Chain A
Amino acid sequence: MHLTDYEKAMLDGDHGRAKARAMDLLVRYGEALGAERLVEVNNVAGAFNASSPSVKHIADKGMDHVYSELNLDSDEVVEVPHMAVNTCQLITGIDNDNWKLQGASEEMIGAQRAGERFLGRRGVNMFATCTPYQVGNVPVKGEHCAWMESSAVIYCNAVLGARTNVEGKESTGAAALTGRIPYWGYHLTENRYGMHLVQLDVEVDDMMDWGLLGYYIGEIVEEDIPVLDRVSHQPNLIKLKHFGAAAASSGGVEMYHIPGVTPEADSVDEAFGPRKVQQRFRYGPAERRETYAKLQSATEDKIDFVMLGCPHNSLEQMAIIAEMLDGKKISSDVALWVHTPRALKQVADRNGYCEIIEAAGGVVMSDTCPAISRRLPPGVRVIATDSAKQAHYLPAIAKVQGWFGSVRDCVDAALTGTWRGGVS
């Protein structure tokens, strides 16, 4: 792989041991990919926390150990300098306020807070959300980024037109210290064109339907680039947030085009550019019903946990949930956790949304989610969620039964303790 003089100097240790180890990983990674060179990035979104029980023995040794092993894949423990470029922390394992409800110990939250102080002083901005694009990190079209979090990556590429591959904990750790990432995949224009055409023969408007469509598309195209044709309604941030998260869960979709909506194509022809259409798919009422059925892993109607806010809720979603819960009480047999980024929670507090949700018996959580933390209320057996991504992952991770449905069906389940959702 070709390196510039500056990159070679970093690799040789002229700019310190941490950057040398970071460059060593980027070179191994770039060569594994078959990349010809690195590209400069000034926008990194990574995971610098160490809250998984599997890595506690490393976390106990301190943050230099954590960063060296988990963010640089380095056997040598290096002293972590200030980040070289704009860097933010994605979702973490514990809610800094609601950690007791999550069943975390004093020791764990203490370690997370100490880790945040360490990272914060070194320039890692503590967004602590899977949706950095909701709280101030909104890359512009064409901007090269190094982002983790599959639901954020697909949003970054497709909706914003910025350029990132799905990076990992180690590559973002190295990118943050060097401002470099392999020039490969979605950083190159020729890899961003459409591959398969998905024609919509059913109306897709509300958030649940965008989630179902995403889940269907991820299964059929895997990691290829779909182009959506005949979209019946203009989507917005929350719908594309759900669509992308679902497509990146059932498959590995990192890029898509909705001609006229997403920024890199105004027409189907433009979306495919020099490429030919490889496969054509039709998403109609039957595909919609089949996808809905696939997402259900529950057999029992009596539910005990409702999870909303994956990816983390926008204010619009917080307002909808507050409106549905206003003046009501959820079933005493059910726990309701609603997740939103910490920065948006502050606004939701000022608006009174959190007060309404809490008065109804719900909890507004930030910083984490049950799938990431692997922490649910004690004794949970059957969950309901409005997130295709959470419905996909949580039953496997937490060994629970899962219902997927609209936010309205999920709130109804919280109020009654019974799942009554469905699609026509």
Chain B
Amino acid sequence: MSAVTIRGRKVVGGKAAGEALVTRETISGWGGINERDGSIIERRHELVGQSFAGKVLVFPGAKGSSGWSAYFHMTRLNGVAPAAMIFTRMTTKIALGAVVTRVPAVTDLDSDPFEAIETGDWVEVDADAGVVTVTKRADRPKEEIAETSA
């Protein structure tokens, strides 16, 4: 079983692991997500209807309203926050949002996370060390995929 390692900079410390949910589209917080179930609601977003709860969210970053942090903050209070965040474009919205969601978060990665990570891959984020370890979906045991997708 092969794993890929990516290095980056810590935004919020801590360690977490989960199945990847990957989008190349930025995400709106207020007006873009349902903070009660952690799903994307933006009408023209490629992930519309999908939930990031418990997933390692891999995305370019935040867009839209300044309610971004408040809405991701509420996903934490509601128990539907992502497990970790991996993003490529630093803004105040995503920085504050990651801080108050209190999940491990990394950016400034040494290789393109959208090339290295696909939805369904198993991703371990050690934000303190700035290390992201990716196990491809194809290399994961089938019973584990069934379990985490349930």
Binding site for B on A (CB under 8 A): 25, 28-29, 32-34, 47, 52, 54-55, 58, 69-70, 73, 148-150, 153, 165-171, 182, 184-185, 222-223, 248-249, 251-252, 294, 297, 371, 392-393, 395-397
Contact = CB atoms under 8 A, between A and B. Distances in A.
A297 B43 contact: yes
B145 interface: no
Contact of B69 (A33, A171, A294): A171
B95 A32 contact: yes
A188 B32 CA distance: 29
B31 to A, nearest CB: 4
Interface stretch (B34-42, B109-117, B134-142): B34-42
Interface of B: 9, 11-12, 26, 31-32, 35-36, 41-44, 61-70, 73-74, 77-78, 89-93, 95-100, 102, 105
Given A29-B95, A52-B74, 4 more contacts: A33-B90, A168-B68, A170-B73, A170-B99
B43 A165 contact: no
Contact of A252 (B31, B62, B95, B96): B62
A25 B36 CA distance: 24
Contacts of B91: 165-166, 185, 223, 252
A170 B96 contact: yes
A248 B96 CA distance: 18
A109 to B, nearest CB: 21
A269 B104 CA distance: 42
A371 B28 CA distance: 14
26 contacts: A25-B100, A28-B99, A34-B90, A55-B74, A70-B70, A148-B67, A150-B65, A150-B66, A166-B92, A166-B93, A167-B96, A168-B66, A168-B67, A168-B68, A168-B70, A168-B97, A168-B100, A169-B66, A170-B69, A170-B73, A222-B26, A223-B91, A249-B65, A252-B63, A252-B93, A393-B65
Contacts of A148: 66-67
Contact of B92 (A149, A167, A297, A396): A167
A168 B90 contact: no
Contacts of B78: 54
Contacts of B73: 70, 73, 169-170
